[in-house]
Structure 1
Amino acid sequence: MQWLFLAGAVLSEVAATLCLRVAAAGRRGFYAAVAVGYVLAFVFLTLALRVGIGLGVAYGIWAAAGVALTAIASHVLFKEPLTRTMILGILLIMAGVLVIEIGSSSH
């Protein structure tokens, strides 16, 4: 269940950030979706912590997955650049998340 809550936190945060991009472009009604998305992200993150996932693991995965998914989604939805260097960064983020998870399970 902790991973489901963490996935909810990541997806809510990414959705809120994408809505922020739309709102900043002049569609002010999207600011409500931004607020709801960020509140949901913190609620889901809190639930993930409450059911036993470690703070370092949860926050690391939440932040890293959020950065990677936001970069990919902004490329698809808003035609923002996604360079080879950015793709390398996303791959490094994925490797870092894997190392964090491996490190947390060794204790």
Structure 2
Amino acid sequence: MIPWMLLLGAILSEVTATLSLRGALDHPALYVVVVTGYAISFVLLAQVLKRGMGLGVAYGLWGACGVVLTALLSAALFGEAFTALKIAGIVLVAAGVAVVELGSRTARAEEAG
């Protein structure tokens, strides 16, 4: 349970940093949030790996969830277009992460059995 909570923290801090990067264009003080958010994200991601989560799963979820949340929130916060093509991309990213996770579970089951 703890690795998943750390991964959630890594995702949220990365998304916060990325959104702040967009906001820092108009408000340079937000660069502090950008640097801090990315640093926290990498530290938390390292802790997830240290606790035994596979790199492919952890990085896949971190990256994919970051992309999805950033796309959704940038549309809401910055009025960026949210097109059918973007939605299709998000669906494909989610499907890709699901396949990686299923592959990881299958590999663990084969190793155990």
Instruction: Please state which band the TM-score falls in when normalised by the shorter chain.
Output: over 0.9
Structure 1 position 50, deviation (Å): 0.5
User: Between Structure 1 and Structure 2, how many residues are aligned?
Assistant: 106
Paired with 1:35 and 1:94, the residues of 2 have a C-alpha distance of: 27
Give, as a single letter, the amino acid of the residue that structure 2 aligns with 1:18.
L
Structure 1 position 15, deviation (Å): 0.3
Give CA-to-partner distance per residue, 1:20-44, whole Å, 9 cap, x none. Answer: 00001x2011000001100010011
Structure 1 position 61, deviation (Å): 1.0
Larger Rg: 2
Aligned residue number for residue 61 of structure 1: 61
Give, as a single letter, the amino acid of the residue that structure 2 aligns with 1:64.
A
Which stretches of structure 1, 4 residues or more, deviate above 6 A after TM superposition?
A: none
RMSD: 0.7
Structure 1 position 51, deviation (Å): 0.5
TM-score with structure 2 setting the length: 0.91
Structure 1 position 3, deviation (Å): 1.0
Q: Give the unaligned 5+ runs of structure 1.
A: none
TM-score with structure 1 setting the length: 0.96
% identical equivalent positions:
50
Bigger relative contact order, structure 1 or 2 (CA pairs below 8 A, ≥6 apart)? 1
Structure 1 position 2, deviation (Å): 1.0
Give, as a single letter, the amino acid of the residue that structure 2 aligns with 1:16.
A
Q: Give the unaligned 5+ runs of structure 2.
A: 108-113
Give, as a single letter, the amino acid of the residue that structure 2 aligns with 1:96.
G
